[in-house]
Structure 1
Amino acid sequence: MDCCGLLTAQKEPVPLKSIEVELEVKDHVATLVSTLNYENKEDKPIEAVFVFPLPRDAAVCHFSAKIGQTEIVAEVKEKQQAREEYDDALSSGQQAFLLEESEESPDIFSLSVGSLPPGESASIRLEYVTELAVQADDGLRFCLPAVLNPRYQPQGSGGSEGASVQVTSVPASLVPYSLSFSARVSSPRPVSKVESNCSLDPLQYLNTEQTQATVKLAAGHKFDRDVELLIYYKDAHQPTAVVEAGQASAKPGTLMGDPVVMLSLYPELPQSVMSSLSSCGEFVFLMDRSGSMSSCLNNSESHQTRIGSARDTLLLLLKSLPMGCYFNIYSFGTSYEHIFPKSVVYKQKTMEEALKKVEVMEANLGGTEILEPLQHIYSQPCIPSQPRQLFVFTDGAVFNTKEVINLVKENSGSHRCFSFGIGEGASSALINGMAKEGGGHAQFITGTDRMQPKVMQSLRFALQPAVVDISVTWDLPKEVSVTVLSPPITALFQGQRSLVYGQLTGQSSEAAEGCVTVEYSLAGHPSQTQLRFSLNPGEDTGLTVHRLGARTLIHSLEMEEREHTGQGDGGVKEKVVELSVQSGVSSSFTAFVAVNKGNSESIQGPLVRRNVPTACHCYQLGLFHPMCLAGSSLKTDFSNVVYCAQIDRIAPKCLAGSSRKKAVKTKGFFSGLSKKFGAFGRRQKPQVIMAQQIEVLASPSYDFGTFSCEETEGTMLQQPCRDTLLQLVSLQEASGCWPLDPALAVVLGKSREEVETSKPASVNQEVWATILALIWLHGFKMDAKEEWELLAMKAVSWLRAQKAPCVAECVEAGNKLLGSNVQKEVLGL
């Protein structure tokens, strides 16, 4: 076929030409309008299907299509009804459009553009609103997902009936459509800065107060990675309330007809209590060791792998735990492992045993099956007076996201869940959902982020006393009542926002005020935060707050429906459908459908399906999709293979090239092939496998086993040299002290003799070594203070317990030895 226009990896035309995105951020609420421009350059009508990611909490609230001068606005309908209308329209030769949420994961949508005639163009307009999450450094994070890593499906799992969406993927560098992106930011407080993982044009302020600004992507950006914006305001932690007027055309008493209030609460927790970290708890770390964790953490020059960074992070975590707590480490892939049969007391012996096993952890456990290890963890009885804190690390995305989140919610009363999404393409639905339902905090590690600061921030949250007995009380005029749309607040953290939505029913005067009081108990100390607000609707915000409130209520009802599945409660689904249709906000039970009924002429000719490819990172794929690799004939062409070094499993028919006679060079081996072609032991040099051998990959029945990334023989692949901070941390004992070890002198850049002879005579070796370590941290590693602060606090507590004499003399001698000037008070001594 003589193809024209944009082509996929399999030489099929791509009807999607470009995506234009306009983002408007008002304080912490984002409204995104995306225009997808399609053009059919073929000689027959096509159906273009595009599967793409959206933020988990996005409320999709508008979907329309423009063909020529005709605009068709889609309606929200029950999903099966919408699918039938779409199919009926196509079968009768009408143009039709369908947008629906995946039944497995609320952050995947499928857009179908049906019966686009030859030579015709269409513009699809998609709009959604979402809340922006607060990061550990107080920045608000917006992410426009581009990378959609196909969800790993556990072996033997068929998924729910009709639920599977076919994801067509190409390597991120081969995405055949362009992106233009601009953002407008406004807030009552000045905009300090906007940062991104992509190149931006300079921030342009629109007023002298710097409360409004615009920014856009630099020219030449390809939509080959997630677009992440971090927005910083001055004095961001201010409680606010926004009251939005109801829709004039909607019936009073309904959600869309009544005013809706959005409360943004930042409870100030007593500093005296927050500074006293807990010395108890059961800390369970669940680490992803699927094949994709072998890939690089980010695009920086360090080339550190995700599993390597995870090992370093576990080192910091283990060194920062309080003596006497309990801990365990689980890791998972296709199967799962644990270091101890059950959680053990944290002490020097158990810490050393755990670290020995952490040091040899590799990304060699295959796929991403997280449900089974979670079930095992939750089956373990909780330890009295040791609150369970679960830390989950994964770079993947799973097929059964909703099932995983539901499991976390079922066990939310017995633990807090802190989740970390590593790298682009990690499912926001999975990471945010686990933290939200588990009363914890979610973090995403992307771009050039280091994993350690974000994880240590969450550990600090976990070590703080748990806020309990949280209640929200409304004080409103007697003629006004409120229906709360949000689930109860289950977790409060210092500096973290809590959002509450409420539907206000009744009439009030313009001067009327309302008051909300949040009461809670922290370490036995009752506290409260109050927010007074005007009941008079503010400036016109459209229906943004209503739609976010509706999406919040829909999420809660969907979770309730899953809990009652099979128990005869069919009314919840009907409530979701009714609310979704009424508010115009998508749900898992509804879809947007638009039919061009004004087109009198039916479209002739057989309809050809064209799957629009989505960006993927091949090394992250759970199931390696055939479309990922370019080429032609599988059976005869094997050279020039695109090699994907880190994959969870590989599917048949994914290799292509040009010449059977040539060899295929690989950096690693598939462990399942070793039985067929001899033992490929670890630590061997890169192999050359002839094409005839790889033909086995074409057999659908072949069991590929798991993949392990091999290293070169003799020299091996050079691992990044562990930095001096981690070397120092690795020498600390569980109690918090450092031994006077020759390795400590190396880290300090001194000889063993220099360190020993500088020690004041009346001080023992551990006290001297510990003070030296603290001086070095404060003197030379302040840029990484977030990473070592907790273990330094433990060291200071140990020193105080020793009641060592001559501390001032030690600090003076240490400063002289290290060439620093750190005061004793700065060390906390």
Structure 2
Amino acid sequence: MMTSCGLLTAQNKPVPLKSIEVELEVRDHVATVVSILNYKNKEDKPLEAVFIFPLPGDAAVCHFSAKIGQTQIVAEVKEKQKAREEYDDALSSGQQAFLLEESDQSPDIFSLSVGSLPPGESASIRLEYVAELAVQADDGLRFCLPAVLNPRYQPRGGLSSVGLVPYSLSFSARVSSPRPISKVESNCSLDPLQYLNTDQTQATVKLAAGHKFDRDVELLIYYKDAHQPTAVVEAGQASAEPGSLMGDPVVMVSLYPEFPQSAMSSCGEFVFLMDRSGSMSNTRIRSAKDTLLLLLKSLPKGCCFNIYSFGSRYEHIFPKSVEYSQQTMEEALNTVEQMEANLGETEILEPLKHIYNQPCIPNQPRQLFVFTDGEVRNTKEVIDLVKKNSDSHRCFSFGIGEGASSALINGMAKEGGGHAQFITGTDRMQPKVMQSLRFALQPTVVDISVTWDLPKEVSVTVLSPPITALFQGQRSLIYSQLSGQSSEAAEGCVTVKYSLAGHPSENQLHFSLRPAEDTGLTVHRLGARTLIRSLEMEEREHRGQQVGGVKEKVVHLSVQTGVSSSFTAFISVNKDNSEVIQGPLVCRNVPTPCEFLPKAKLKVSHSSEAKMISALCAHRHLPSCSQCDDHAFNTSASCHDWTLDVQLLFHLCTFSPPAAVHEHLSRDPLLQLVSLQEASGCWLLDPALATALGKTSKEVKKSKPEKVGFLWATVLALIWLHAFKMDAKDEWELLAMKAASWLRAQNAPCESECVDAGNILLGSSVKKEALGL
């Protein structure tokens, strides 16, 4: 289920966008985002419009204002029902009014009713929010500006072209951290990074001129010494009451531990839950199937596994999790290869309930991997279910594409003590998923405790819920309110203790209690958001019971801090405008450029061309034809005789084929090799292996040293991986470790001779030690 975004009429059609201005302020691991979106009603009648805005799941909306013509209106937070009534009253009396509220089902979608937009009038909407930045597998912090905010528009009677899209995007970012900034990268062209001081702890960057905003703008920020803990102390608001959350200083402690290398677990129950809704068609389902192949080949001996898939209904390969063996692996792979994106909508709750109702296997810790590319209607209920079962498993979640709900993906991983990953644009799913498998194979961290050592005149109130999970690659932020007075030179200390694989560890961080200058209120607002989310979950857990005023606490905290919640809304009314609106409000269908392109047809005569176009359509998420599963195609009796609207070519010709398209047309040699590996970790000597290595069966057999026996195929496969696929090491490293372990167990005396012969055959120079032998 995709949610349309931007300024829309009641019929879900876009109001023309003139420009977008975005300013990003990043402080260590958190960000403040200011977005200004400018629209214009080009109709001759007033419009009642709704503004839909996608946000990160943990974001805290802290400011909303609007400007209609020369009238500036600033919103304030009020209890939701009271705000709705005030909005309705204002509209009925002809006043301009705006209402911003959180979706009832998903906290990462905000709905803004902008009331009456007079004919010919411009609307400027300013939205400010704060958010925690997600940590990627390579230690980078990720910010994403979604492209769904850029609806195309063309006035009636005109013909659209890419060069005439009448809006602009201005995007700039300022980054600061206690640690030096090593680099900032993006999927879009950037101007060079500008450092603002000699120690390189502050920098600015902006988009290069001419950006078309035809895809999400992704920013990746890297710090030196990424695993070093940090603390940011933020001063309270001068106008706020001392002793209140906004009046006291708040400290944010960032923990991103790097654990010592320990033996990977050789046991566990691995449950994979794959989205097979209609939006997963073509390249996405192919990538998902390739990912399941890698996962199944990389599982350790002695574990158990099962694969579920879901849409409007759900399926599972085995009635219950089975022991990992050659037979069960082959049975699973045969089923996976037949999977299609044909199960309807995205309904994840029922398969989750079924999984959790299965008894856990003794001495096999359950690890749940969830893959989805969409949103669900009951995000909060799903997250609550994961939390309820957090003691019996860890949950690793993956959001595929721009439509994936960050609230769902982040919420499941957070409550399930796992890790969240997002696969967008031309990202490959496989390396991110394999990174999470490494996390899942790490021993569980237990006995986690956080203690504070502060001057006696200072007390601490922890705003964050207790840390329930830690593992390498996971970042934890702890927000705490500091009450009382202290000297400027005073220091605080926070100590984090935990036990990993039976070994106790301790991290201690000393920090100055003096607030940093010019920090704004980012940390305060995120601390408030964290506390609000905890209270909201408590209210849902005890719904229907007599629990003392949890909802009232949320409303009070939300109003006090100016941070949105599920029980409050932003409301603003221009009471100076008493002129009654003349005539009824109308909802106007504002067309997109596609609707103005001619309906001429193009014959696609070759199946390879058709597959390329189909893959491109899937990559661009173009609308499907109502008569078939293929994107924007009408098919005749022969699948090779396809016709294609010119409006579709408009989209296809403006984008280069992504790497995923080429994978769709010819199977990746790496995946060919991986598919031949046995569950034990070895490879068998057969013609398919020779083909994957780029050799003939005759060449492979002729180069085989005497007395090598059945080791030859596995050594060749390992050499090929290390010699020619090091750029994809993240994808094959675990299965290569399993292969090396198998070779060592054979205790063969001729490994060196075998490696030398393999290098000669493949034209490489890989050392025996590099193979783990």
TM-score range, shorter chain: 0.7 to 0.9
Q: Secondary structure at the match of 2:665?
A: coil
CA contact (8 A) 1:580 1:590 kept: yes
> Any idea what the Cα deviations from partners look like across 1:462-484, whole Å, max 9, x if unmatched?
00111112111112222221111
Q: Secondary structure at the match of 1:280?
A: coil
Is 1:808 paired with 2:747?
Answer: no
My pick for the range that moved more, 604-613 or 401-410, is 604-613
Shift of 1:136: 0.2
- Give the Cα–Cα distance (whole angstroms) in 1 for the partners of residues 685 and 674 of structure 2: 14
Shift of 1:790: 0.4
- Give the Cα–Cα distance (whole angstroms) in 2 for the partners of residues 477 and 510 of structure 1: 12
Q: Secondary structure at the match of 1:406?
A: helix
My pick for the range that moved more, 316-325 or 360-369, is 360-369
Return closer, same or farther for 1:723/1:11 CA change in 2, 3 Å cut-off.
Answer: closer
Shift of 1:724: 1.4
1:589 to 532, 557, 567: 567
Q: 2:723 — aligned with what?
A: 779
Return closer, same or farther for 1:175/1:405 CA change in 2, 3 Å cut-off.
Answer: farther
- Give the Cα–Cα distance (whole angstroms) in 1 for the partners of residues 453 and 8 of structure 2: 61
- Give the Cα–Cα distance (whole angstroms) in 2 for the partners of residues 451 and 191 of structure 1: 27
Query: What one-letter code is carried by the residue in structure 1 that aligns with 2:448?
Result: I
Q: 2:254 — aligned with what?
A: 264
Q: Secondary structure at the match of 1:65?
A: strand
- Give the Cα–Cα distance (whole angstroms) in 2 for the partners of residues 228 and 816 of structure 1: 44
2:278 to 291, 301, 316: 291
- Give the Cα–Cα distance (whole angstroms) in 1 for the partners of residues 12 and 510 of structure 2: 61
CA contact (8 A) 2:228 2:257 kept: no
Shift of 1:69: 4.8
Is 1:735 paired with 2:680?
Answer: yes
Q: 2:704 — aligned with what?
A: 759
Return closer, same or farther for 1:665/1:72 CA change in 2, 3 Å cut-off.
Answer: closer
Shift of 1:11: 12
CA contact (8 A) 2:45 2:586 kept: no
- Give the Cα–Cα distance (whole angstroms) in 1 for the partners of residues 641 and 361 of structure 2: 48
Q: CA RMSD in A?
A: 3.5
2:513 to 535, 544, 547: 535
2:714 to 766, 770, 777: 770
Shift of 1:362: 1.2
Q: 1:121 — aligned with what?
A: 122
Shift of 1:270: 2.5
Q: 1:490 — aligned with what?
A: 468
Q: 1:709 — aligned with what?
A: none
Return closer, same or farther for 1:225/1:8 CA change in 2, 3 Å cut-off.
Answer: farther
Shift of 1:187: 2.9
My pick for the range that moved more, 215-224 or 529-538, is 215-224
Q: Is there any run of 5+ residues in structure 2 with no aligned partner, and where?
A: 1-6, 151-159, 603-612, 645-661
Q: 1:622 — aligned with what?
A: none
CA contact (8 A) 2:226 2:256 kept: no
- Give the Cα–Cα distance (whole angstroms) in 2 for the partners of residues 747 and 799 of structure 1: 20
- Give the Cα–Cα distance (whole angstroms) in 1 for the partners of residues 589 and 122 of structure 2: 15
Return closer, same or farther for 1:282/1:417 CA change in 2, 3 Å cut-off.
Answer: same
Q: Secondary structure at the match of 1:542?
A: coil
- Give the Cα–Cα distance (whole angstroms) in 2 for the partners of residues 607 and 753 of structure 1: 82
CA contact (8 A) 2:367 2:395 kept: yes
Q: 2:47 — aligned with what?
A: 46
The total of aligned residue pairs comes to 730
Q: 1:698 — aligned with what?
A: none
- Give the Cα–Cα distance (whole angstroms) in 2 for the partners of residues 639 and 83 of structure 1: 48
Shift of 1:233: 2.3
CA contact (8 A) 1:177 1:223 kept: no
Q: Secondary structure at the match of 2:147?
A: coil
Return closer, same or farther for 1:407/1:73 CA change in 2, 3 Å cut-off.
Answer: same
% of aligned pairs identical?
A: 79
Return closer, same or farther for 1:9/1:509 CA change in 2, 3 Å cut-off.
Answer: closer
1:278 to 251, 265, 270: 265
Return closer, same or farther for 1:531/1:759 CA change in 2, 3 Å cut-off.
Answer: same
Return closer, same or farther for 1:726/1:645 CA change in 2, 3 Å cut-off.
Answer: closer
> Any idea what the Cα deviations from partners look like across 1:442-468, whole Å, max 9, x if unmatched?
101112211110000000000011111
> Any idea what the Cα deviations from partners look like across 1:91-137, whole Å, max 9, x if unmatched?
11111111111111001011222233344433222111111111001
> Any idea what the Cα deviations from partners look like across 1:31-75, whole Å, max 9, x if unmatched?
111112233444444332111211111111111223455433211
Q: 2:428 — aligned with what?
A: 450
Query: What one-letter code is carried by the residue in structure 1 that aligns with 2:266?
Result: S
Q: 2:655 — aligned with what?
A: none
Q: 2:581 — aligned with what?
A: 604
- Give the Cα–Cα distance (whole angstroms) in 2 for the partners of residues 294 and 409 of structure 1: 30
Q: 1:229 — aligned with what?
A: 219
CA contact (8 A) 1:268 1:529 kept: no
Is 1:550 paired with 2:492?
Answer: no
Query: What one-letter code is carried by the residue in structure 2 that aligns with 1:46?
Result: L
Q: 1:323 — aligned with what?
A: 301
- Give the Cα–Cα distance (whole angstroms) in 2 for the partners of residues 244 and 650 of structure 1: 46
Return closer, same or farther for 1:208/1:476 CA change in 2, 3 Å cut-off.
Answer: closer
CA contact (8 A) 1:173 1:224 kept: no
Q: 2:60 — aligned with what?
A: 59
2:245 to 255, 263, 270: 255
Query: What one-letter code is carried by the residue in structure 2 that aligns with 1:20?
Result: E
Return closer, same or farther for 1:611/1:420 CA change in 2, 3 Å cut-off.
Answer: farther
Is 1:824 paired with 2:768?
Answer: yes
Shift of 1:240: 0.7
CA contact (8 A) 1:51 1:612 kept: no
CA contact (8 A) 1:294 1:306 kept: yes
Q: 1:3 — aligned with what?
A: none
Q: 2:75 — aligned with what?
A: 74
Query: What one-letter code is carried by the residue in structure 2 that aligns with 1:419?
Result: S
Q: 1:429 — aligned with what?
A: 407
- Give the Cα–Cα distance (whole angstroms) in 1 for the partners of residues 166 and 103 of structure 2: 24
My pick for the range that moved more, 215-224 or 384-393, is 215-224
Shift of 1:391: 0.5
CA contact (8 A) 1:453 1:787 kept: yes
Shift of 1:180: 2.4
Shift of 1:178: 4.0
Query: What one-letter code is carried by the residue in structure 2 that aligns with 1:398?
Result: V
- Give the Cα–Cα distance (whole angstroms) in 1 for the partners of residues 764 and 543 of structure 2: 65
My pick for the range that moved more, 505-514 or 212-221, is 212-221
State the TM-score, normalized to the length of structure 1: 0.82
Shift of 1:505: 1.4
Shift of 1:214: 2.7
Q: 1:301 — aligned with what?
A: none
- Give the Cα–Cα distance (whole angstroms) in 2 for the partners of residues 201 and 448 of structure 1: 22
Q: Is there any run of 5+ residues in structure 1 with no aligned partner, and where?
A: 1-5, 150-169, 296-304, 614-625, 656-663, 675-679, 690-716
- Give the Cα–Cα distance (whole angstroms) in 2 for the partners of residues 143 and 491 of structure 1: 26
Q: Secondary structure at the match of 1:574?
A: helix
My pick for the range that moved more, 107-116 or 209-218, is 209-218
Q: Secondary structure at the match of 2:509?
A: strand
Return closer, same or farther for 1:816/1:390 CA change in 2, 3 Å cut-off.
Answer: same
> Any idea what the Cα deviations from partners look like across 1:192-233, whole Å, max 9, x if unmatched?
332223333343444454433333233343444322111122
- Give the Cα–Cα distance (whole angstroms) in 2 for the partners of residues 757 and 375 of structure 1: 55
- Give the Cα–Cα distance (whole angstroms) in 2 for the partners of residues 280 and 187 of structure 1: 40
Q: 2:651 — aligned with what?
A: none
- Give the Cα–Cα distance (whole angstroms) in 2 for the partners of residues 117 and 718 of structure 1: 50
- Give the Cα–Cα distance (whole angstroms) in 1 for the partners of residues 453 and 254 of structure 2: 17
State the TM-score, normalized to the length of structure 2: 0.87
- Give the Cα–Cα distance (whole angstroms) in 2 for the partners of residues 542 and 91 of structure 1: 38
CA contact (8 A) 1:48 1:609 kept: no
Return closer, same or farther for 1:513/1:494 CA change in 2, 3 Å cut-off.
Answer: same
- Give the Cα–Cα distance (whole angstroms) in 2 for the partners of residues 10 and 115 of structure 1: 15
2:483 to 505, 511, 522: 505
Shift of 1:7: 11
Residues 583-662 of structure 1: pairs in structure 2 closer than 5 A:
583-599=561-577, 601-610=578-587, 630=595
My pick for the range that moved more, 382-391 or 559-568, is 559-568
- Give the Cα–Cα distance (whole angstroms) in 1 for the partners of residues 43 and 601 of structure 2: 30
> Any idea what the Cα deviations from partners look like across 1:349-390, whole Å, max 9, x if unmatched?
111111111111111112111111111111101111100000
Q: 1:198 — aligned with what?
A: 188
- Give the Cα–Cα distance (whole angstroms) in 1 for the partners of residues 574 and 94 of structure 2: 10
Q: Secondary structure at the match of 1:147?
A: helix
